[in-house]
Structure 1
Amino acid sequence: MTKAEVGATRSLLSKVPEVTVWFWIIKILCTTVGETFADWINNSLGFGLFVTALLFTVVLAAVLIWQLRSKRYVPFVYWLTVVVVSVTGTLYTDILTDKLSVPLAVSTSVFAVALAVVFGIWFARERTLSIHSIFTLPRELFYWLAVLVTFALGTAAGDWTLTLTGWGPGTSVLLPVGLILAVVVGWRLGANAVLSFWLAYILTRPLGANLGDWFASPAADHGLGVGTALTSVIFLAAILAVVVYLTRSRRDVIDDAQQSRVPTVTTANPARERIMLGYYVVVAALAGALLVWASAQPHAVAASDEEAGPVSTAMAPGEAAAHFPASEVATFRTITQDTLSKVQAGQQNEAKARIKDLETAWDRDQDTLQPMDKAGWGVLDGKIDSVLKAVRAGTPDAATETGALTNLLAALE
């Protein structure tokens, strides 16, 4: 390698932060913001998932270009990219689950395979997956693609866990915390450092998301009741504070002397790594057994759109909407009645367009209505979900649409 190539390598290496405790603190903060900020833009501001995802895809492209064009590691640019990737990855998973009705088990499996493919191609081409070996543009592109997929995978796996177990926001934090601690123990005992890094990186996503849900969820749902907007502000402020500290202290900057000693291939004890790989397999098996056991226990329906439907028979007509403002209920009824009229007139495209208004209004009012009556909100949310699926079906059935819309009208009396 020539002196010019060495200089270029070191310049690019300095764009990647050192993996210190600060790295993991800010990573968890970023994942929390990814969960709450996406919910706030989508639900509270009423943009809707597709518009929000498109917006953040454009923003992601812009900040990623900024990051790739930077000559050195700049904390603000790097962590801004992570925040935007976090939000975008979350939105992609939410679209699959909430809009395309892809089961969480399927989306989790798809993203797991996608991540394996990214890592496989990356390793086949570069012979390493180490964060400290990113000194070419292809490796940096592989790195950011892997980061995006880990956020999507972490979101899907975390939501699937909640659906299976019915755990509340506070309880759900414990599983990723326990698994991260197990990874730390494995790394300390000689597990492959690169494997340990990426396992921890994936697990910080459900941890951060669960923290965000815990802060944002109302007290009735065993949350802290802070709300998505204020939670986003709190964690964004924390990220900014840490970034300012890192910018001033340069605690996570790999200097030239460190860079010259960073190996591109891990040289740990292969026998110890194989033993610890078995340890990770055991940990994964135990976590799976815990989820199977928890899913078999009686628990409340998880707070997911797909699972809201079964509780819809628990209330008499009109009871679900009894504690909500009459003006809001009237708006929902008007939109529902308009959609029903269009379905009965055979105006399917117009019905799809009109039902979008109901989805937008309902999502916008979630933060206000859900704390008023959690049970009532869950009933209506399930019925609205059934209506959306019926009207947006690939081959709509007029009888199914009419039944779903009529049931919703009865609940909104």
Structure 2
Amino acid sequence: MTDTSETSGAYAPSEAAPGRRLRWNKVPEVTAYFWIIKVLCTTVGETAADLLNEKLGLGLTGVSLLMSALLAVVLVVQFRTKAYRPGVYWLAVALISVVGTLISDNLTDNLGVPLEASTATFAVALAVVFVVWHRRERTLSIHSIDTTPREVYYWLAVLFTFALGTAAGDLVAEKMALGYWVSAVLFALAIAAVAVAHFALGLNAVFSFWIAYILTRPLGASIGDYLSQPTGDGGLGMGTVITSVIFLAVILGLVIHLSVTRRDVEESAPLTPQEG
């Protein structure tokens, strides 16, 4: 699914009018690469969060603080870049996937918040971000993440989609006792239904994109849990180390490919004299 309901404003530098400078979109074009890496990052977010919690001995709170600090550093770099850079962008997504997982886990494991309550809370928080974003910027399209305020709203939305997806995925897989594999199939079918609604029935592209973006989180988490968890718990028993390393290696290979080929680079509209 591509977010095309609003003009992407793709211009080559030579197409900009004299005296007008281009402003560049800070996120990738939505292609098959985008969705593949997104699902891989959500899987790593689930398994890496479990791995770090197990191996570092810092406890859930300590790991959460450490990963949040790393995310803050990477986001500073991301905000200071002038255009989309695959390595920086996808590192931020991978880290925010881990942090979103840890936020949800802290509420459930440390504070005893029921999954139903945390799922509802994150859904409301995400809705608030979208409402404020749209009222201030008049768009939720990721084709126009080309100003600092829009980038702030974008990353807040991404964070809450990961936290919401984690809580919702745990609610379905564990609370409802459907198991990891069945949960993955259900979320995959839900994403397919959104795709059909968009391409065949004309569902708004921006709305379709964000619904699919939310659903990829529990899909990736269910896949990660299925691969890494012990066979007695309904998984394949690969462990968090092997699962995380495999998926990180695939992500790295795809990001290097995109950095070289620039197949997911999209330009934004040229600034008007008033915007400049």
Give the TM-score, by structure 2 length: 0.88
Equivalent residue, structure 1, for 2:10: none
Equivalent residue, structure 1, for 2:103: 92
Equivalent residue, structure 2, for 1:166: 177
User: Which of 132, 135, 138 is the equivalent residue of 1:127?
Assistant: 138
Q: How does 1:395-406 map to 2 (within 5 A)?
A: none
Once residues 208 and 117 of structure 2 are traced to their aligned partners in structure 1, the CA distance between those partners, rounded to angstroms, is 25
Larger Rg: 1
8 Å contact from structure 2 (residues 133, 153) kept in 1: yes
User: Which of 208, 213, 236 is the equivalent residue of 1:201?
Assistant: 213
- The one-letter code sitting in structure 1 at the alignment partner of 2:128 is V
Aligned-CA RMSD value: 1.7
User: Which of 111, 118, 129 is the equivalent residue of 2:129?
Assistant: 118
Q: CA deviation at 1:167?
A: 1.8
Q: CA deviation at 1:235?
A: 0.6
Secondary structure at the aligned position of 1:173 is classed as helix
- The one-letter code sitting in structure 2 at the alignment partner of 1:52 is V
Equivalent residue, structure 1, for 2:112: 101
Cα distance change on mapping 1:249 and 1:118 into 2, 3 Å: same
Once residues 4 and 147 of structure 1 are traced to their aligned partners in structure 2, the CA distance between those partners, rounded to angstroms, is 36
Deviates more, 1:27-36 or 1:155-164: 155-164
Q: CA deviation at 1:6?
A: 4.8
Once residues 56 and 19 of structure 2 are traced to their aligned partners in structure 1, the CA distance between those partners, rounded to angstroms, is 49
User: Which of 2, 8, 17 is the equivalent residue of 2:28?
Assistant: 17
Runs of 5+ in structure 2 lacking a partner? Answer: 1-15, 271-276
Q: CA deviation at 1:249?
A: 1.3
Residues 1:37 and 2:51 are matched in the alignment: no
Cα distance change on mapping 1:110 and 1:18 into 2, 3 Å: same
User: Which of 46, 52, 64 is the equivalent residue of 2:75?
Assistant: 64
> Whose RCO is larger (CA < 8 A, sep 6+)?
2
Q: How does 1:234-273 map to 2 (within 5 A)?
A: 234-255=246-267, 259-260=268-269
Q: CA deviation at 1:43?
A: 1.9
CA-to-aligned-CA distance 1:151-183 (integer Å, 9 cap, x gap): 000001111112332122222211110000001
Secondary structure at the aligned position of 1:194 is classed as helix
Q: How does 1:222-237 map to 2 (within 5 A)?
A: 222-237=234-249
Q: How does 1:1-400 map to 2 (within 5 A)?
A: 6-9=20-23, 11=24, 13=25, 15-189=26-200, 190-255=202-267, 259-260=268-269
Q: CA deviation at 1:52?
A: 0.4
CA-to-aligned-CA distance 1:226-275 (integer Å, 9 cap, x gap): 101111111100100110111111110115xxx459xxxxxxxxxxxxxx
Q: CA deviation at 1:134?
A: 1.3
Q: How many residues align?
A: 254
Greater helix share, 1 or 2? Answer: 1
Secondary structure at the aligned position of 2:21 is classed as helix
Secondary structure at the aligned position of 2:28 is classed as coil
- The one-letter code sitting in structure 2 at the alignment partner of 1:151 is F
Cα distance change on mapping 1:166 and 1:51 into 2, 3 Å: same
Give % identity: 57
Runs of 5+ in structure 1 lacking a partner? Answer: 262-413
Once residues 3 and 92 of structure 1 are traced to their aligned partners in structure 2, the CA distance between those partners, rounded to angstroms, is 46
Once residues 133 and 58 of structure 2 are traced to their aligned partners in structure 1, the CA distance between those partners, rounded to angstroms, is 36
- The one-letter code sitting in structure 2 at the alignment partner of 1:154 is G
Cα distance change on mapping 1:115 and 1:4 into 2, 3 Å: farther
Secondary structure at the aligned position of 1:18 is classed as coil
- The one-letter code sitting in structure 2 at the alignment partner of 1:17 is P
Once residues 238 and 142 of structure 1 are traced to their aligned partners in structure 2, the CA distance between those partners, rounded to angstroms, is 29
Deviates more, 1:167-176 or 1:101-110: 167-176
